[in-house]
Structure 1
Amino acid sequence: MSMAETTTPPIPDLEDLQHWTWVLGRAQQMMLEHGLDMMEHAAPPFGTLLDPAAAVKATTDFWSDTMKLWQRFLDPQNAQPFEETPEQARDKRFKAPQWREEPVFDFLRQSYLVIADHMLRGVDGLEGMDPRQKDQVRFATRGFLDAMSPTNFPATNPEVLEKIVETKGESLLKGLSNMLGDLAKGQMTQTAEGAYELGRNLAMTPGKVVKRTPLYELIQYAPAEGAKQVYATPLLIFPPWINRFYILDLNPEKSFIRWAVEQGLTVFVVSWKSADATMKDIVWDDFVEGGQIDAIDTVRDLLGVEAVHAIGYCVAGTTLAATLAVLHARGQAEKVRSATFFTAQVDFSEAGELGMFVDDDQLAMIRSLGGEGFLDGRYMAATFNLLRGRDLIWNYVTNNYLMGKDYAPFDLLHWNSDVTNLPARWHMSYLTDLYRDNKLVQPGALAIGGTPLDLAKVATPTYVQAGREDHIAPAQSVWKITQYFRGPLKFVLAGSGHIAGVVNPPSAQKYQYWTNSEKVESLTEFFAGAKETKGSWWPDWIGWLDALDAARVPAKGARIPGKGKLKPLEDAPGSYVRMR
C-alpha cells in the first residue's frame, strides 16, 4: 500500500452530501413550520410572530441559496462564487485548507454557513416578540447551530478523518480517554494538567498575607526592588469572587499587580474564600461591610492613611459601587480617594446574554443546586463557557475528543478552569435583585446594614474601563454607570473583551483604547468623537491616578509587608486561592 493510500481519508459520497443537506434543510423547515403554527394558534401579540408573506419569502430565499450551492458544487466554472461575510471569513473552525480546496468539504462548509445564516435571520425576522424572549431564541438557535457544525462530527471533518487514518484509529482512543476523564471530574479540560502551579509560574509577585477573615485574605505586595519612594495613597484591588484573583497576576509579563507595584503603588489585593457550607448565610451586606469596607479600613489603619485608591473588577465593581454609596450616605466618602471599575455593571437593563439565565426556570434550577449552602463553581464555569461555546466547548470537542490531541499549556485557560464556589443565598439575591429586578439603580430599593443605597450621591473621582467586545459585561451596559455618579468621571473603551481588554500590559503592544474628553450622552456619541490610542490603557490610568494624587512617601516601615502592625501569616498568593 502506498503512502498516498494510507493518508487519504474516506470522504462523504454524493448520497452523504444529499443527506446532510436534507438534515439541515429540514431543520430550517421545522423552524418555519413552528413559527407558522405559533402564528395560527397563539393570541396577540404572539399571534403576529411570523408574517406568512415573510415566511414564504424566507423559504424561497433559502431554497434559492441552496440551489446556488449545488450549482457551485456540480458546475463550479459557471456558478456564482460563494461570497462570505466578514464573520464567516474569520470563522476559525474552517481555517484548515481542506475546507476550501477539496470540493466535497467546501460544499459542506458552504451548506452549513448558508443554513446557519438563514436560521439566524429567521429569528431576527420574528415580529411582536418580547426582546428578551427573542434574545433567548437567538441564543438557543446559535447554540444549536454551533453544535451542528460539520467540524463536530468525524465523518464530515477532513482533519479528523486524516488523523484517524494517520494514527490507525489511535486518535479516537486518545480522544475517548480525554472525554471519559472530563466526565469523571465533571468539567471540560481546556489546558494541560500540571503545567501551572501557584507561586511557581502563576501569581508570582512577592507579597504576604497580612489578614485572614472567614470571607477573605488580604495580600500586601512588597515595593518594587530598589524603590525609595511610593505613592502615599495605596491601591486596594477587589477582584470578582466568582473567579480567582490571580487573573491580575498571571505571570510577570502579564501581571497588572506587578506592573502597578513597579509604578510606585503600595498594592493590596483581596483574595476571596471559595464558598463552603459554613457560608450558607452570607449575603451582599457581608461582601460590602465585612469585605470591602473592612478591607478599606484595615489598609487605612495599617498604613496610617486617610484613603485608598480602590479597583473593582466585574461583580466586585458592582459591589464597589454599593460600597461607595454606603460611605457617602454615612459621611465617610473620604475613605476612598478614587474608584476604578474594570468591566463592571450597575444598571442591568442591557446586561447582555447573561441576563438570559435569570428567568424563573433557570433561577429554580440554581436554587436547587445550592442545597448545601453553596453553588458549585463548575456550574458558573459551564454558564460562561456557553456564552462562547464555539471557542470554549466545541473547539475542545473537535481537537481533544475527536482528534485526540494533547492539551496545550495556557495560563489564561488554567485560570478559567480554576473554579470558585459561590454562597448560594447571596448568589440568588444577586441574580434576582440586580440582574432580574435592576434594583441597584433605584434609589432606596436596596440597603446595606440599614443604609439605603443611592448611586446618584456618589461623587468619588471615577475611572471606568469597558471592553469593546465584552460578552459578559457589554460596553453599552458598563457605560450606564456614567449616568448615575455625579463626581468627575473618565470613561475608557478598551479593545478586546472581558479578560484580554483588562489584562493587556503595555509591553505586549496589543489592541487599543478610545478616550473622549467631550461631554457626551451615549456610548455611540462617545465612540464617534473618540481618540484612538494604540496599545494598553494602563499608562493612561496611572497618569489619571497621578494627576489626582501625586504625593509620595518613603518605601519603608509598614509599606513593607510584615513591618507594620499586621504580621505576615504566609507568603502570597495565600491559602484561600488554593481552596476548591
Structure 2
Amino acid sequence: MTNQPADMATAGAMTDLVSSRWLSDRIAERIDRAAGVAVARASSGLPLPRILLAYADWAMHLGLSPGKAGQLVEAWARQYRRMGRFTLNTMIQGAAAPREVEPEAGDRRFVDEGWRNPPFSLLEQAFLLRREWWREAATGVRGVSDEDAALVRFFNDRLLDSIAPGNFPLTNPQVLRTTWQEKGANLLRGARNLVRDVYRDKTGQPPAALADFKVGENLATTPGRVVYRNRLIELIQYEPTTRRVHPEPVLIVPAWIMKFYILDLAEGQSMVRYLLDQGHTVFIVSWKNPDAGDRDLGMDDYRTLGPMAALDAIGELLPERPVHAMGYCVGGTLMSITAATMARDGDDRLASLTLLAAQSDFTLAGELKLFINEAQLTWLDHMMNRKGVLEADQMAGAFKLLRASDMVWQPLVDNYLLGVDGRGIALMAWNADATRMPYRMHTEYLRRLYLHNELAQGQYLVDSRPIAIKDIRVPIFAVGTETDHIAPWHSAYKICLLSQSDDLTFLLTSGGHNAGIITPPGHPRRRYRQYRWGPDDRYLSPDEFFERAEPEQGSWWPAWQAWLAGHSGNKVAPPAMGDSLADAPGTYVHQR
C-alpha cells in the first residue's frame, strides 16, 4: 500500500526545490558586475559587444545590398585607376605631380616635404585612397543605423591609422632622412626614450614629460595665496601687478578633469598673469584630485562646493562687487549651469559670463558622443564602481582614441624614431598631470548632459526645479576652437541659439581644445574671428557666422580682455589680499 502522506511530502519538497531561486537579484547583480569589470578592464573600457554588434549590423546589411556592394567594387576599380594615373604622373613630373586626394586639414603626418617625392608620395596616396574607400564602404548602407555606421567609420579610421606608412621607419621619409643625417643617433635617443618611459611606467613614476617641470617652480608660478578651502576646491587669489585695477574681480573655473594650471602655465604662457598685467583682480578654482572617499560627490556638489562656494568667498573679501565668471571646458558647462541657476533664483552677483571651449547643448558633441550610450555607460559603471573613481589613465585613453594619429602614433614616431624629447614643452607636462573623477559625478555628467541633453532641453533640475540657459541675461563671451575634438566649435556655438542675452559675443580661434585657448600675444600663426550680437540682431547659423566674421591675425586674448574692460568699471586701488591658508599654487594641485 502506497504511503500517500510521504509521497505528497516528497512531491512538495521537489516542487519547492524546482521553484526556489538559488541566486537572489542582489547576488546575480554582483556576479554580473564582477564579470563586467573583468571584461571592461581587459578591453581598456571599450564596449566590445557594442562595437561587434555595429560591425555585424553593417556586414549583414551590406551582404543584403548587392547594389551597394556593386558600387564598392566600382569604387575599388576607380581607385586603382586613380592610383595608376598618379603613378604615371609621378614618373613624368616627379614631386610636381598633383595629388589625387589631399590629406585632411590638421593632419600632421604628411606635412614633411619628403612625402611629395616618390616612392613616399605613392605610399601616401595609396593610404589616403584606401581610407577614402573604407569610409565610403561604411556610408549609405541601407538598414544600418546612423549610430552603427558612425561607429564603423570611426574604428575603420583608427585601424587604418595604426598601419599608416608614417608609423614605420622604412616608409617614413623624415625618419630615413634624419637617420642618414645623424648616422643613427636619433634611433639611439629613441631607444633610450623607450627604455626610460617603460621603466617609469612599471615603477609608478610620473611621466617623463613632468621631469623638467615642477608645479610651483616653473609651472603655476604666479604669486598668490589660497584664501578659501573646502573638501573639493582651493580658491586662489593672485597678487596684483598694477597700481590700479578694475573693481570687478575675475573668477576662473577650469575643468576638473585636469589640473588648473593650464591657465597659469609657464612664463609667457599664463592667462592668469596676462589678466593681472591688464589690471584685473583674478581668482581661480583649484580642484581636488578625488579618491574613493569622494565617490558619491555629484554634479550638484561640484556646483555648490565649486563656483558657488568660490562666489561666496569672494563676496566676503570684496563685498558688493559683481564678478566676471569664466569657465573652461567642463568648467564652462558647470558655470552655465551655475549662471542659469543664479538667474532663476534672482542671484545677481555675476557681471558677465565667459565660456571657453564649453558646451551647453550636446547634440553636436563630435566623435566622443559615439561612446556615450547605455552600453558604454554600463561599461564605465563597471570600471568605476569598484574603485569609486574613473582613473586618470582611463580618461586620457579615451581622448587619445579620438585623435589617435596625433596623440598616439605621431608621438611614438617623434619620441622613439626621431628621438625627439618632448620634456621641454610645458603644455605636454600639464597634459601628463591628469586627475581622477568621482563615480557619481561622472555618471551624472555623461547621462544627464551627453546622453539626455537635459540642460539644452530645459530638463536639468537643480534643487528639484528646472533651469534654462535662456534665463542668463548677463553679457556672454563664448570661445570655440577650430580643430577641437572634445568640444567641437559647432557645439560650443549652440550657446548663440540657446541664449537670450542682449549682449552676446562668439569668437572662433585657430587651434585645438588646449593649444587654441593657450594662445598668448605674440604666438605665431594664430588667427581668430568674432561677432557680437546686439539686442535686435537675429541668430546666425555657424556657416553664416564664419562668412560674416572677418578673420583677424594674432592672439584672441586682447580681444577678450578689451571686452572684459568694456564691461568693467573705472579702475580703483587693488583690494586687500585674503588671509592665507597656503601660498599659490596651493596643496590640491600636488595631489596624485
**TM range, normalised to the smaller chain?**
0.7 to 0.9
- Paired position in structure 2 for 1:503: 518
CA-atom RMSD in angstroms: 3.0
After superposition, the Cα gap between the structure-2 partners of 1:104 and 1:281, relative to the gap in structure 1 and judged at 3 Å, is same
Q: Residue 307 of structure 2: SS of its match in structure 1?
A: helix
Which residue type is aligned with residue 473 of structure 1? A
Q: Residue 552 of structure 1: SS of its match in structure 2?
A: coil
Residue by residue over 1:59-81, the C-alpha shift from the partner in whole angstroms, topping out at 9 and shown as x without a partner, is 221332344466568x5579994
Q: Residue 512 of structure 2: SS of its match in structure 1?
A: coil
Note if contact 1:68-1:79 (Cα within 8 Å) is conserved in structure 2. no
Which residue type is aligned with residue 576 of structure 1? Y
- Paired position in structure 2 for 1:485: 499
Residues of 2 paired with 1:96 and 1:441: CA distance? Answer: 43
Further displaced range: 342-351 or 382-391 = 382-391
- Paired position in structure 2 for 1:570: 582
Residues of 2 paired with 1:535 and 1:237: CA distance? Answer: 23
Note if contact 1:176-1:404 (Cα within 8 Å) is conserved in structure 2. no
- Paired position in structure 1 for 2:551: 532
Residues of 1 paired with 2:564 and 2:186: CA distance? Answer: 61
- Paired position in structure 2 for 1:61: 78
Which residue type is aligned with residue 201 of structure 1? N
Q: Does the alignment pair 1:301 with 2:319? A: no
State the 1:308 CA deviation. 0.9
- Paired position in structure 1 for 2:10: none
Which of 196, 201, 213 is matched with 2:218 structurally? 201
Which of 310, 319, 336 is matched with 2:350 structurally? 336
- Paired position in structure 1 for 2:61: 39
Which of 375, 379, 397 is matched with 2:412 structurally? 397
- Paired position in structure 1 for 2:155: 140
- Paired position in structure 2 for 1:516: 531
Residues of 2 paired with 1:533 and 1:172: CA distance? Answer: 40
Note if contact 1:50-1:126 (Cα within 8 Å) is conserved in structure 2. no
Note if contact 2:57-2:144 (Cα within 8 Å) is conserved in structure 1. no
Task: Show structure 1 runs of 5+ residues with no match.
Answer: 1-32, 42-46
Residue by residue over 1:226-284, the C-alpha shift from the partner in whole angstroms, topping out at 9 and shown as x without a partner, is x3321111110000001111111112311111111111111000000011012111001
State the 1:340 CA deviation. 0.6
Question: What percentage of aligned pairs have identical amino acids?
Answer: 35
Residues of 1 paired with 2:206 and 2:236: CA distance? Answer: 31
Q: Residue 513 of structure 2: SS of its match in structure 1?
A: coil
Within 5 A, what are the aligned runs for 1:279-428?
A: 279-332=294-347, 334-370=348-384, 371-402=386-417, 404-428=419-443
Residues of 2 paired with 1:89 and 1:481: CA distance? Answer: 26
Note if contact 1:39-1:49 (Cα within 8 Å) is conserved in structure 2. no
Choose 1 or 2 for highest CA Rg. 2
Residues of 1 paired with 2:505 and 2:112: CA distance? Answer: 44
State the 1:324 CA deviation. 1.3
Note if contact 1:68-1:80 (Cα within 8 Å) is conserved in structure 2. no
Q: TM-score, normalised by structure 2?
A: 0.82
Q: Does the alignment pair 1:260 with 2:275? A: yes
Task: Show structure 2 runs of 5+ residues with no match.
Answer: 1-54
Q: TM-score, normalised by structure 1?
A: 0.84
- Paired position in structure 2 for 1:546: 565
Further displaced range: 400-409 or 346-355 = 400-409
State the 1:152 CA deviation. 1.8
Residue by residue over 1:96-145, the C-alpha shift from the partner in whole angstroms, topping out at 9 and shown as x without a partner, is 555444x4444333322332232233334545543333322222121111
After superposition, the Cα gap between the structure-2 partners of 1:323 and 1:400, relative to the gap in structure 1 and judged at 3 Å, is same
Q: Does the alignment pair 1:87 with 2:100? A: no
Residues of 2 paired with 1:173 and 1:508: CA distance? Answer: 33
- Paired position in structure 2 for 1:221: 238
Which residue type is aligned with residue 174 of structure 1? R
Residues of 1 paired with 2:460 and 2:327: CA distance? Answer: 19
Q: Residue 531 of structure 1: SS of its match in structure 2?
A: coil
Aligned residues: 529
Residues of 1 paired with 2:514 and 2:342: CA distance? Answer: 29
Residues of 1 paired with 2:335 and 2:187: CA distance? Answer: 54
State the 1:84 CA deviation. 5.0
Q: Residue 507 of structure 1: SS of its match in structure 2?
A: coil
Which residue type is aligned with residue 157 of structure 2? R
- Paired position in structure 2 for 1:25: none
After superposition, the Cα gap between the structure-2 partners of 1:365 and 1:554, relative to the gap in structure 1 and judged at 3 Å, is same
State the 1:320 CA deviation. 0.9
Note if contact 2:354-2:476 (Cα within 8 Å) is conserved in structure 1. yes
Residues of 2 paired with 1:94 and 1:294: CA distance? Answer: 49
